[in-house]
Chains A and B, each alone.
Chain A
């Protein structure tokens, strides 16, 4: 299946956490194309491919919703809750489950293709790169499996529970761990290339920009590391822990903090370009789309990328971890109580 311009196959659209949309004029959503509800709460973010929006729920359903009508095309019942953001690859939806399994589901029919087991719950999003799927588990290990079959390529035990979705580059896998370390692994073997300690556990997912690995920690610091060596280039002190995974736009890295601030820093220096207080604890990742940042934090915000000014807000889409899917045609939002919106 070929990816089209509006597809959104993984967390924050792509492995670069870019949001995927190029420059475009800002238009505030004018109406709801449809609104529906899925069964159970939603923690993970939706993903989109072709005509279907895939929404995971803690009731254990992966819901495939037609983006034109809002009708349920199919839903797959997993054996346990789904907290994970799905990923799309080769005609399959990949998703982690609280029973420790990662399941591959046919993206068109909803039939299970394969499953693979870990020793504890998988809340992270599976990341696909070069025919392999990479994911961490609360059992403390990173896994790489074959995308076609789910067969294990390698497993690497790290020092703490993994709730950080990995960033996967051509040769490296970067991930944070509950033991407070940021790890770089060899993507072919799982060997640890380097690790860098922070002052507390990590459940934030890293991003990579121009050789700089960017990630927050529950020690209240946001770190910029040399992706090759793990040495700290700079770190920025926030007011509370950082769960919100960073989004990248050019030389800007944007992330939220649990004290309710959203900040944009210069990737090269860590200098604060702007910082705003939204009010609620921010744990969801911001999404950059063109010149606008979308964020679900109590309500849904659209924020000007250049200065942090709030452009639009709507009292919907409360979320702890879910992030919008943004296309040229619509913004798709899944809220904590299972409500799903297509705004256009």
Chain B
């Protein structure tokens, strides 16, 4: 809560102005009956038409004046809540951008999305209402009680019993309801997750005819959400009649004791009437409280969830001592006794990996699915930190570079090629913001995708990504390779990125990469691809089995022999 509200401080001034204007309107409301009394006493009783017109015009003038104040109020309130919402979204988005992979795997996309969509909206709505309507009801309650005490302390005494009772009741409700709404929001998470999975896997769901199955999953999540929402809303809304009843009972006490005191002559008639009047107003205002309690408890739940994300410590900050200027110059890589395990997992994915890659060298990494190839890749740009051991780039530990400098030197092509909504041009330019059109074309040519792009209806301006045209897996792979090449990286990392390419295309691609003067790491399944590298690193079950040239491995490694046989079979042996 506090994290969230500290953001409101910036708008202090606007909030003060907005509240002052609301007070001004309230004052006019209170002044009008006063002027009416004046008009009756001076004008009507004395039959002074001039006086009546004067007071009448003043009242009409005040009404117009209140409108001007109200219009200003609108601007101030709208600005505060619009900017507050902007700030919240901005904060959250920046925070997510600062997350490391570990945080991202602990906070699934759908849960982060609900914070963006639902939680922020809830907070923003409440703040906006808080600036405009929600102040009035508490003010009337406080004002009414204070006025009652001024009129007659003895009779107003009853408020000393009921008001603390009401306040503690409201707090009790708030405490429980915010917990309920937290559960509601969690279920919103679930509904969103199912929905997101469905949107992502629509093709397969259709292929497997699993619509009913998915619908059942959704129905369950949806029903759970509706159920919890029902409970939470009903709990809060049931509290209102209770509040009202408590307040009305105090009114009955006032009448009873007031009557007794009147009979004893201890109190003036006007005082009793006034206090009864205030009690009526207070109980009227209390009907607004459900509304307020609902809004506040939903906001509490949402800000708790939001603060939780905002409070996550980002551990991957650069060491302050790091020199700004250190850049990767050559691109040599050295692993020294590197072991790695994913957070919250006991099993090592990689153990004791040691090898060196010279600048400009091409190293193929080969191994069974799940042997730890991708994990090894992810350690180099520090997407994860190793458990033990050190990774050196240009003879400096990777941690001695600023993250940005380190990653700037790396062209990473992930296994799953992901393009963002935008044109093909934009997507390639992602690798290098200032890239000229010429550079983009060159990168695309080298990635063997230029010709395909030119055949598309809008060429380089064709829209791709979630909102774009359907590209095949191989086309996406090559665009994401172009995206990496355009950075002119010192280290190029291809994570099985040529799997969907046919041999001829792949071969031309590897030729083109040759011209880029960079250290290249290629994860691959295909021996034919591995053969294009200078050396081959063979890993199995997280352990390094061998490193060397094709002929060396063919002689020393039984596993390697088996892999080669599996791909070339009889023909290979025959030629060999």
A binds B: no
Q: Which residues of A contact B (CB under 8 A)?
A: none
